Amino acid sequence: MSSSPTPELLDKLAERLGSHLLRRDAFRGEATVVVAPQAWLETCRFLKEDPELAFGLLVDLTVVDLQALGGSPRFELVAHLYSIRKRHRIRLKTPVPEDQAQVPSLTPLWKNANWLEREAWDMFGVRFLGHPELRRILLYPEFEGHPLRRDYPLRKRQPLVAERDVEEPRSMVSEPVRYPVDPRFKTFGV
């Protein structure tokens, strides 16, 4: 069964995007929309906040390296969005050139974009502008290269990592501390 948004909604999106819409595809009941990189953040915001589209769930954010297919530009950033209320899905893509592999970050819109974009950076080397802390997530910091790129050999060996010095820990407090208000703890007066 098709999970694509209705054609009217897709036309509404196309109208809103104007010239930034590069391509529309439909395959096996799935809708794919390709936008220009300049419109990436704005498109996602529109898809999330428009009440008829209402794509509130960022299902997945990943990159496809088209180098082995001779694709140009080399990378394609792919986001899957889902609307729980409307029960429709959309695949949003944007081409990312190799020499300028940067796109705006989606962290202002969705919280899991933080980790998803860190994984995209880790595996492909695509930068996300505005990301609070773009560092490796699945691999260790001394890892060299971006392994899911097609030119990274399958069986490449990494150099041995020297033992790290123990660093002083930095504070991880992110918001004002909320101490537990559970009345049980009141009995342990300090």
Partner 1 sequence: MKPIPQEPPRDHMFLNMGPSHPAMHGIIKIQLELDGETIVGSQVEIGYLHRGFEKTCENRTYTQVIPYTDRLNYVSPLINEVGFCLAVEKLFGLNVTRRCQYIRVLMSEISRITDHLTCIGASAMELGAVSAFLYLIKARETLYDLIEEVSGARVMPNYIRVGGLKSDLPEGFEERTRLAMGEVRSVLDETHRLLTRNRIFVDRLSGLGVISAEDAVSHGFTGPCLRSTGIGYDVRQAEPYLVYDRLDFDVPVGETGDNYDRYLVRMEEMKQSLRIIEQCLAQMPQGPYQVDLDGREMTPSEVIEGMKAKPPLQPIRQARIRLSPDLEGTEKRSVQDVVADDKTVVFPPKEDTYGNIEGLMQHFKLVMYGHGIRPPRGEVYQAVEGGNGELGFYLVSDGTDLPYRLRCRGPCFHLMSGLSTMIEGETVADVVPTFGSINMIGGELDR
Q: In whole angstroms, give the CA distance from residue 61 to residue 119.
A: 9
- 135 is an interface residue for partner 1 by CB under 8 A: no
- 172 is an interface residue for partner 1 by CB under 8 A: yes
Say how far residue 43 (Cα) sits from the centre of its chain: 14
Nearer to partner 1 by C-beta: 162 or 181? Answer: 181
Residue that is written with structure tokens 């944007």 in the block: 94
Burial per residue of 85-116, b for 16 or more beta-carbon CB atoms within 10 angstroms, e otherwise: ebebbbbbbbbbeeeebebbbbbebbeebbeb
Tokens of 87: 């029960």
Tokens of 182: 């559970």
Tokens of 45: 């915001």
State the minimum distance, in angstroms, from the CB of residue 97 to partner 1: 18
- 16 is an interface residue for partner 1 by CB under 8 A: no
CB 81 within 8 A of CB 55: yes
Site string for partner 1, 32-71 (x = CB under 8 A): x-----------------------xxxxx-x-xx--xx--
DSSP 68-85: GGT-SSSEEEEEEEEETT
Question: Nearest 5°: phi and psi at 63?
Answer: -125, 145
Nearer to partner 1 by C-beta: 13 or 91? Answer: 91
Question: Nearest 5°: phi and psi at 146?
Answer: -125, 105
- 22 is an interface residue for partner 1 by CB under 8 A: no
- 160 is an interface residue for partner 1 by CB under 8 A: no
Q: In whole angstroms, give the CA distance from residue 124 to residue 147.
A: 7
Nearer to partner 1 by C-beta: 16 or 104? Answer: 104
State the minimum distance, in angstroms, from the CB of residue 174 to partner 1: 5
User: Candidates 10-18, 75-83, 96-104, 157-165 — which segment interacts with partner 1 by CB under 8 A?
Assistant: 75-83
Contact residues toward partner 1 (CB under 8 A) are 1, 3, 27-28, 30, 32, 56-60, 62, 64-65, 68-69, 78, 80, 82, 84, 87, 89, 91, 110-112, 114-116, 119, 123, 132-133, 136-140, 147-148, 152, 154, 169-175, 177-180, 182, 190
